Structure 1
Amino acid sequence: MPVTDITTDADNLTMTLVAEVDAPVERLWRAFTQPAQLERFWGPPGWPATFTRFEFEPGGRAQYAMSSPQGEKSRGTWEFIAIDEGRSFEVLDAFADEDGEPMAQFPAMRMIFSFETTPGGSRLTNITYFTSAEALEQVIAMGAIEGSRLAMGQLDAVVQDLRAYAQGVGTRIELLDDTHVRITRLIDGPRDLVWRAHHETELLKKWMLGPDGWSMTVAEPATQVGASFRQAWEQDGAPETAFGFEGELLQFDAPRRAVTTERMSGTEGPVTINDLQLYEEDGVTLLTLLIEYPDKQTRDMILDTGMAEGMETSYARLESAVLSG
Structure 2
Amino acid sequence: MPVTDVTTDPEALTMTLTAEFDAPVDRLWDAFTNPRQLERFWGPPGWPATFPTFDFEVGGHAVYFMTSPQGEKSYGSWEFLEIDGPQGFTVLDNFANEDGAPLDGMPTMRVVFRFDATGTGSRMVNTTYFASAEALEQVVAFGAVEGSTMAINQLDRVLAGLREYAAGKGTQTEILDDTHVRITRLIEGPIDLVWRAHQEPELLEKWMLGPDGWRMSVCEVDSAVGGRYRYEWEPVDGAEGERFGFDGETVLAEAPRRAVTTEHMTGTDYPSTLNDLSLEEEDGATLITLLIEYPDKQTRDMVLATGMTEGMEASYARLEGVLAAV
- Provide TM-score, normalisation by structure 2: 0.97
2: CA distance, partners of 1:301 / 1:323: 34
2: CA distance, partners of 1:222 / 1:187: 24
The CA deviation at 1:107 is 2.3
Q: Contact between 2:90 and 2:112, CA under 8 Å: does it hold in 1?
A: yes
Residue 264 of structure 1 is matched in structure 2 by: 265
The size of the alignment, in residue pairs, is: 325
Please give the root-mean-square deviation of Cα atoms over the aligned residues, in Å.
1.3
What are the superposed Cα offsets for residues 38-75 of structure 1, whole Å, 9 maximum, x if unpaired?
A: 11111111111111111111111111111111222211
Residue 22 of structure 2 is matched in structure 1 by: 22
Residue 246 of structure 2 corresponds to residue 245 of structure 1: yes
Residue 87 of structure 2 corresponds to residue 75 of structure 1: no
Q: Contact between 2:16 and 2:127, CA under 8 Å: does it hold in 1?
A: yes
Specify every segment of 5 or more residues in structure 1 that has no aligned partner in the other structure, as ranges: none
Residue identity in the other structure for 1:187: I
Question: Which aligned pairs between 1:90-239 and structure 2 lie closer than 5 A?
Answer: 90-236=90-236
1: CA distance, partners of 2:188 / 2:5: 35
Q: Contact between 1:207 and 1:322, CA under 8 Å: does it hold in 2?
A: no
What are the superposed Cα offsets for residues 232-252 of structure 1, whole Å, 9 maximum, x if unpaired?
A: 111115798221100011100
Residue 283 of structure 2 is matched in structure 1 by: 282
2: CA distance, partners of 1:316 / 1:130: 49
2: CA distance, partners of 1:99 / 1:106: 16
Secondary structure (helix, strand or coil) at the match of 2:148 reads helix
Residue identity in the other structure for 2:70: Q
1: CA distance, partners of 2:231 / 2:56: 46
- Provide TM-score, normalisation by structure 1: 0.97
The CA deviation at 1:303 is 0.6
Residue identity in the other structure for 1:70: Q
Residue 86 of structure 2 is matched in structure 1 by: 86
Residue identity in the other structure for 1:252: A
The CA deviation at 1:268 is 3.2
Structure 1 stretches of at least 4 aligned residues deviating more than 3 Å after TM superposition: 237-240
2: CA distance, partners of 1:187 / 1:314: 11
Residue identity in the other structure for 1:286: L
Residue identity in the other structure for 2:185: R
Specify every segment of 5 or more residues in structure 2 that has no aligned partner in the other structure, as ranges: none
Q: Percent identity?
A: 65
